[in-house]
Chain A
Amino acid sequence: MRLFLHQLRAEQKLFWRSRELAFFTFLLPILFFLLLGSAYGDEEIDGVNGYTYLLAGMLGYGAASTTFAGLALLLVIRREAGVLKRLRTTPLPASTYISAVLASIILIFMLEAAILVALGRIAFDVPLPDSILSLVIVLLLGAASFAALGIALAAVIRSAEGSSAVVNAIYLPISFISGAFFSQEAFPDVLRALGEILPLSHLIVLCRDVMIHGERAWDQLDDVAIVAVWGVAGLIVALRRFRWEPRER
């Protein structure tokens, strides 16, 4: 426990000192929410309040950008710089290290979500959900699932060069297709079908159910199951493919 907290503190320091990572993975969803909200939040989207609709989308996008893209980049950069390999020669157990990294990134995402919800309340009058606990459960489920997928993505990316381009090329289109920024109503059928398969669209649906329709986290178990199955798939790839060593040069 002492080691876990020691590493968690270090991870927080490392994240906030790495300005680029903090900007792209933490601040960008907040900026997008303010921009999109000012642009068309006052219209109705899919028959519901536009601000609330956007906020739910940005919570999902935040999970993808922080715990998926951010975690994948952080791990690839550390692995290729030889930092992970060096940590393996210290007494810090691998399980302690990984749990501290995960706890740190999930903590950062939950902070980001709290800021988004608070901004929605203050700037756009978005009401708080009936069940805050349900929202927290949904967000933690999403964060855990995307974190597992983030480790899996780090495991399949082979080098640090171009890793941020690869990560962006994956999570940005997914965010669009999943309806984080706009309603999927106007999308062609192919894109909507693709969105149906991806976990992010189901996470966003869960957020909307909780925020707009006052549902509980466990009311739509099919959406919960799809997000969870993706997380488990990510975990399996992560366990099989994760490496501590940089690519041979």
Chain B
Amino acid sequence: MNAVDVRDLRKSYDGVEAVRGIDFDIPVGEVFGLLGPNGAGKTTTLEILVGHRRRDAGEVRVLGTDPQQADSSWRARIGVVPQSGELFPNLTVREHLDLFAGYYEKPRSPADVLQLVGLEQKADAKTRTLSGGQQRRLDLGVALIGDPELIFLDEPTTGFDPGARRAAWETIRSLRSLGKTVLLTTHYIEEAQRLSDRVAVLRKGEIVASGTPAELIAKAPATVIRYRLNGQEVSFQTEDPTRALHELTGEALRDGFNLDALEVHRATLEDVYLELTEEKPE
């Protein structure tokens, strides 16, 4: 069974197509990453799935329901961490959790959620005194208080320092072990790779690749060779590095030029991503 089904989803703003016919599905219990640069259509897609925006065309089912026709009982089953936005600066962390818990029939206990997002020490602090990372953790806590089946995370770690990012990743992994389905958007390759069971790469409103992180890497050319010639950076990809390297170095020795900073490495997800999302002339 799928928690999310999307078929040929389209959305334009003032004649500009932000999402141009994308398809994907997310089975229950999967962590799915929507990876792409800013402006690729990630947030638009997520806002359509949670019911904030209306689509222009296509089919969308979230927990079996069209988000455009969803009611409160459907909203009780999802949790959303928006990309930006504040809460109430004059309420404490615990008061926020109590307030939002009151909206649900069967909320998680605020004490559990405090622990899950690691804010026990800050339970009685006013929200305005929290650091940026702590506020994002409260955002996550507020999204989890209703014990949702499906959680939407819009760029959950943008602006985090590396330590805070790793802590957030731990929390997101723990959601997975609770059996939750997660859709996360990100422009960090490492984040998508480490957290997601499957990834879809979005570029200018289209999905240009999708699969498990391992599958995406496997689709890439096996090896990248890079060197500098007369101050110019040269790099190329090859399926046959032994021969390519032999020919390159042979030519260099014969003609008497130097391959400065010669480097041979296996493609990473980053190479795949950069290749896929590069701005190419159309």
Contact = CB atoms under 8 A, between A and B. Distances in A.
A and B co-occur in one complex: yes
A17 B91 CA distance: 8
B242 interface: no
Contacts of B87: 83, 86
Given A89-B80, A92-B72, A93-B72, A14 B102 contact: no
A85 B73 contact: no
B51, B95, B99 — most chain A CB neighbours (10 Å) = B99
B91 A86 contact: no
A86 B80 contact: yes
B104 A91 contact: yes
B85 interface: yes
A14 B88 contact: yes
Given A89-B75, A91-B76, A245-B52, A82 B103 contact: no
A245 B86 CA distance: 13
A7 B79 CA distance: 19
B78 interface: yes
Contacts of A90: 75-76, 100, 103-104, 146
Contacts of B75: 89-91
Contacts of A245: 52
Contacts of A93: 72
Contacts of A10: 99, 102
A13 B126 CA distance: 13
A241 interface: no
A7 B103 CA distance: 9
Contacts of A246: 85
Interface string A82-103: 1101101111110000000000
B51 A89 contact: yes
Given A3-B102, A91-B103, A91-B146, A83 B91 contact: no
Contact of A85 (B52, B72, B104, B105): B52
Contacts of A14: 88, 90-91
A6 B104 contact: no
Interface in B94-133: 95, 99-100, 102-105
B155 to A, nearest CB: 14
B50 interface: yes
Number of chain B interface residues as a range: 20 to 34
A81 interface: yes
Nearest to A17: B90
B73 A83 contact: no
B82 interface: yes
Contacts of B51: 88-89
Contacts of B84: 82
A19 to B, nearest CB: 9
B148 to A, nearest CB: 10
Contacts of A88: 51-52
A81 B86 contact: yes
Contacts of A7: 102
Contact of B103 (A3, A13, A18): A3
Nearest to A249: B84
Interface string A11-23: 0011001100000
Contacts of B99: 6, 10
Interface in A211-249: 245-246
B76 A85 contact: no
Contact of A82 (B78, B79, B85, B146): B85
A62 to B, nearest CB: 23
A86 B140 CA distance: 12
Contacts of B95: 13
A246 B85 CA distance: 9
Interface string B50-88: 111000000000000000000011011011101011111
Contacts of A6: 99, 102-103
Interface in A1-49: 3, 6-7, 10, 13-14, 17-18
Nearest to B80: A89
B85 A81 contact: yes
B100, B103, B105, B146 — most chain A CB neighbours (10 Å) = B103
A14, A81, A82, A86 — most chain B CB neighbours (10 Å) = A86
B221 to A, nearest CB: 39
5 contacts: A83-B88, A86-B142, A89-B51, A90-B100, A92-B72
Given A14-B91, A85-B85, A91-B103, 15 more contacts: A6-B102, A10-B99, A10-B102, A81-B85, A82-B85, A83-B86, A86-B82, A86-B87, A86-B142, A88-B51, A89-B50, A90-B76, A91-B104, A92-B72, A245-B52
Interface of A: 3, 6-7, 10, 13-14, 17-18, 81-83, 85-86, 88-93, 245-246
Interface of B: 50-52, 72-73, 75-76, 78-80, 82, 84-88, 90-91, 95, 99-100, 102-105, 142, 146
